[in-house]
Structure formats: C-alpha cells, structure tokens
Structure 1
Amino acid sequence: MTPPPAVPPPGGPRRPLPGWLWAVGGVVVASAVWGGVLVLTVGGSENSPSEPPPVRPNLAGYTYAADMCETADTSAFDVDYQADGYREPSELAYEHRALDRSACTFYLSPLATTGYSSLYLTYDAVWHKGTSPRAEFAASYRQQEQYEDVNYDYAVEPVDGLGDEAFIVYQTDTLDDGRLARVVLAVREGWFVHTLTWDAYIDPAEPEMSELADPDHVGEAMREATEETLATLRGEVPLGGTEPSGSPQDGGGSPGADA
C-alpha cells in the first residue's frame, strides 16, 4: 500500500527568508545590544572616579539681593543730584543655577539744573555660580583701549583696594570738546562682579553744570558709592547704614575655588 502524502503545515510550506531580511534582523539585534552597552556606559560615567566633583563658587561673602534698588547706596551723589520726579528707578533681578543677577537704574537730575541735564546711575551685580569670571574680567575692560571710535575716546585705569581686581573706564565725547559722557567702575571679588555705570548728559546751555562731569569728581563719588554698596551686600552695613556687631557671613566658597 502506498502511504498517504505528507500534510503540509498550516499556512502552506515555509519558505526560506531572503538574505536581506536576515541582514536587517542582524542589524536590529546588534543595535539593541550596542544600545544596551552605551546606556550602561553612560550611566556608569556619572559616578566615574576620574571626574572631579563640581567646585563650589567663591562668592566672597556677597549674598544675593533681589531688590538692588533698595540695596544700592547712592548717598555719594546726594550733594549734586536729586531723584528725577518723572521716572521711578527701574530694577531687574533673576536667579539661575549658572548665575544670579540683580540691577537697578536710578534717574537723577542736578540740584541746580534749569535745563535738560540728567544722570543715569546703574548698579549691576552678578553672582557667577557655573564658571569663574576671573580669566576674562580684565580683558573685557582693557579691550576698550583698542576701540576705534570717531565719536568717543576711552581711558581704562586699574583701581587699587577694591576686590581682587577693579577697573574704571572713562568715555569722553570727541565731538563735544572731550566732555565726559560715561564712566564704568567694575569690581571682581572671587566669582562675584559688581559694576556701577555713570551715564550723564550735561546741557551745553548750563555751563555751571560742567563741574559735575569732572573725571576726578565723578571717580571719587563712584568709588564711595561702590564701597558702600559692596559693604551692604556683604552684610557689613545693613540697609539703614548702621554697622552690625560680629563678622560678616562666610562667602560660601570652598578650597579649590579660584579667586
């Protein structure tokens, strides 16, 4: 007796898979394996002993001030200026894991002015927390000596006795008989930077106001205002001007945080 023919499996006989499909499958499997290796490698690198722990920023004892308009000391300018009755001080403040910033601009007018003479004073404090500003601080002000500006001349001078380093920049108007137009006093201490900007317009119709734009006179007032403001930010002189007892709080720096 002849045996019955073999019954094919359900769905018909199996056909061999094309070679290209096997290749695709191999790539998918290999990718999955390599992906797992990469995930494990990246995940393990977070605790790698070869990576040093992050350095805490050296803020030199300066605490964040959310309201710079309240913190800034403008008393050095009180002998010459008064608040502009038409404009309130404008403030800016924000906090971020990389840096914090707080600034305020005061709008002033000379006490004896009858014209359009005016002054903008801007206090700008930055607490660097991600990277030290030390490497680029001096260059950011020294470079102004190389500016080729047909309208203004720039003179940059180092300032002793303020922070770790400080510079004052005098900007004069070459088209207006060398009139002083803008002065910037910048101080860096540790990872903290404070900048005070004097930006004035002296009405030519008020020659008696020209003394207010004398570089020495302005420089002295700016230094005094900066010193008082920095002392307040360090907690040495609280708002109100009375010196507290005890020492200022620690700056929160750590060994290894550069100056």
Structure 2
Amino acid sequence: MSTPPQQPESTPEPIDPQPPAAPSSAPPPSGQQAPAVPPQPTAYPYPNPQSPLPQNPYAQPAVSPQVNPYATQPGYGYPPPAGPPATGRNTAGRAVLWAVVGAVVASAAWAAGLFLTGGFGTSADLRGYRAPGNLCAGADYSSFKAEYPVDDSAPTKNAMKDPALDESSCSLSLKKTSTSYGDAYLTLQLDLHKKTDPAPEFTATWKNYGDSHTDYDVTPVHGIGDEAYLVTQDTSNGSTTSGSRYATLAVRDGWTTFTMYYSAYFSSYDSDTDPPSLADVTGWLKTDTRSTLQQLKG
C-alpha cells in the first residue's frame, strides 16, 4: 500500500499585531495642540471642487449685499408687501383718528378752493348790480341834455356775459345841432367781476393814472361807491377853437366797477358857442353816475 505524497506546508503571512490607528476625531487633551495632518497626495491634477480657489490678485473684491437705508423711508423704493390686517382696539382707534384727520384736511382744502373761485356764491360782492344788454337805454346822462339836446340816433352798445365777468358798454355822440359829427362824446362801461376782487387793480390803475399818463389830474371823489377817482385833462390853453378836454369818473362799488368818460375836440365843436368848462362837465359826470348806478341795481 503506497503512501500519498504530502502537500508542502504553506508559510503563513506575517500578521501585524496592531493595525495603524485611524485618525481620531476626538479633541486633543487640554493644553495640547492637535498635530497638523499633511495634505494627502492625489492623482487628480485639478483643484478639489470643495477646496477654496486661489485668490486672483486682479479680481474685484466681492461686494456683499447692502441694506438699502431708504427702502423703508417714505417716498423711496417700493412699499413693503401688505401683511395681515392689524387687529386690536388700539389699531382700530388709530385708524378712526387718521380717517377723521384726513376728512378734516380734505374739507378745509375744498372750502379754500370754493372761496378762492367764488364757489360759495357769496364771495363776489356785486352789491345787487345787473349788467343790462343795452346800457345806452339803462343809463342816465340827462345832465348833458342842456348842452347837447340832439340825441344820437345810432349809439354803439355792447354786452357780454361770462362766469367770470359780465360787461355792458355804451358809446354815443353828444350833439348841439343836427350835424353828421358829434361835438363831444360820452362812453359808459359797467363791469361785474364775479371771480376776482377788482379793488387792488382798480386802485392802482386810477389812483396812479397821472403817473402813467402825462398832463392828467387825478382827484379822489367821496360819497360814490367804495372809492372813486376823477381824472381830467385840458389841452386848450384858454382857446375855444383848438385843443381838447377830457374827464373820466371811475367808481368801484364792491366787485362792481363803472366808468363814465367825456371828451370834446374843439376843432369840431360848434363855433357859435364855447365848449363847457371842466367844472361843468365833472359836475354832470357825478350827478349822472350816481343816478345810473341806482338804476342798475336790482
């Protein structure tokens, strides 16, 4: 009986009794600094995507987002998104308070606008005057009849009505005889200012008429309206055949203004009589202006 051949014995590999210890994540003992772990070599030729890139010396520094200091200020940026409606007694009280304040401010602005534009209907102080369509028929100039007895058969009359101003005017020739030309002329105009008070401009115009027009005399007249001015000029220098005489009485009564204007040119005057003096003319203007203003009321 043959003996089977023996297998050669395999030599066991040496076993390291203690495998290398894995790096511990536990913190080092107090007072000791953890040893630095050297970078591990890698076959990847590019930087680790998770590792920071090297700093570019030419790159602009990153700008961190800044908070817009005006974003929450009134008048800047966009309003913040509306949050849930506020509730509570204090919030409701504030809402009611602001609503009342807003209503008061709006009412004050509305009232001021109406006052400035005459919307209340009482700011235009017209003193009851009405502007007729034919002022030639509605005015009184009878004081001039003794000097000029012939009526003008075709006087010029105009009228205008507007929400801001009503106006009536009349121009006529004063004649001593039945000639084709007038010996003198009379013009009347009534203005009802319904939106603006004419007082400042009226005073500036007529009180200072002598400053803006050469050789005119200005005299205040009392007892007619709120204020009145008589403006006169005589260029005849004592002659009865050359020169001229002018006289205007301008009156303001509230927001109503009225003027009566007389003019005479001696070159066209009737040579048989002398023209009336300025004293006579101004007296006629005052008398007929008072009468006309009374007729134009109501």
TM-score scaled by structure 2? 0.56
Per-residue deviation, 1:203 = 3.3
Q: Tell which deviates more after alignment, 90-99 or 58-67.
A: 58-67
Corresponding position of 2:290: 227
Corresponding position of 1:137: 202
Corresponding position of 2:145: 78
Q: Tell which deviates more after alignment, 200-209 or 153-162.
A: 200-209
Corresponding position of 1:36: none
Corresponding position of 1:210: 274
Post-superposition CA distance 1:71-112 (Å, at most 9, x none) = 011211110103356x5011010100111000111112125x
Alpha carbons 1:115, 1:205 under 8 Å: kept:
no
Q: In structure 2, how many angstroms separate the alpha carbons of the residues matched to 1:200 and 1:105?
A: 14
Corresponding position of 2:38: none
Q: Tell me if 1:96 matches 2:154.
A: no
Determine which structure has more spread, i.e. the larger CA radius of gyration: 2
Q: In structure 1, how many angstroms separate the alpha carbons of the residues matched to 2:130 and 2:216?
A: 32
Alpha carbons 1:93, 1:102 under 8 Å: kept:
yes
Corresponding position of 1:190: 254
Per-residue deviation, 1:114 = 7.8
Matched ranges for 1:1-259 at <5 A = 48-51=107-110, 52=112, 53-54=114-115, 55=118, 56-83=123-150, 88-111=154-177, 118-147=183-212, 149=214, 153-173=215-235, 179-203=243-267, 206=270, 208-212=272-276, 214-235=277-298
Q: Which has the larger strand fraction? A: 1
* Unaligned ranges ≥5, structure 1: 1-32, 34-43, 236-259
Post-superposition CA distance 1:176-214 (Å, at most 9, x none) = 8594422110100000000001021223775553341x1
- Compared with structure 1, are the counterparts of its residues 50 and 169 closer, same or farther at alpha carbon in structure 2 (3 Å cutoff)? same
Alpha carbons 2:183, 2:269 under 8 Å: kept:
no
Post-superposition CA distance 1:145-169 (Å, at most 9, x none) = 12464xxx20010011100000010
Q: Which has the larger helix fraction? A: 1
Alpha carbons 1:84, 1:109 under 8 Å: kept:
yes
Q: In structure 2, how many angstroms separate the alpha carbons of the residues matched to 1:80 and 1:48?
A: 60
Size of the alignment, in residue pairs? 186
Per-residue deviation, 1:119 = 1.3
- Compared with structure 1, are the counterparts of its residues 187 and 140 closer, same or farther at alpha carbon in structure 2 (3 Å cutoff)? same
Higher relative CO (CA 8 A, sep ≥ 6), structure 1 or 2?
1
SS of aligned partner of 1:163: coil
Q: In structure 1, how many angstroms separate the alpha carbons of the residues matched to 2:170 and 2:269?
A: 29
Alpha carbons 1:116, 1:202 under 8 Å: kept:
no
Measured on the aligned residues, the alpha-carbon RMSD in Å equals: 2.9
Alpha carbons 1:117, 1:203 under 8 Å: kept:
no
Q: Could you tell me which amino acid in structure 1 is paired with residue 185 of structure 2?
A: Y
Q: In structure 2, how many angstroms separate the alpha carbons of the residues matched to 1:126 and 1:132?
A: 12
Q: Could you tell me which amino acid in structure 1 is paired with residue 109 of structure 2?
A: S
TM-score scaled by structure 1? 0.63
- Compared with structure 1, are the counterparts of its residues 116 and 68 closer, same or farther at alpha carbon in structure 2 (3 Å cutoff)? closer
Q: Could you tell me which amino acid in structure 1 is paired with residue 224 of structure 2?
A: L
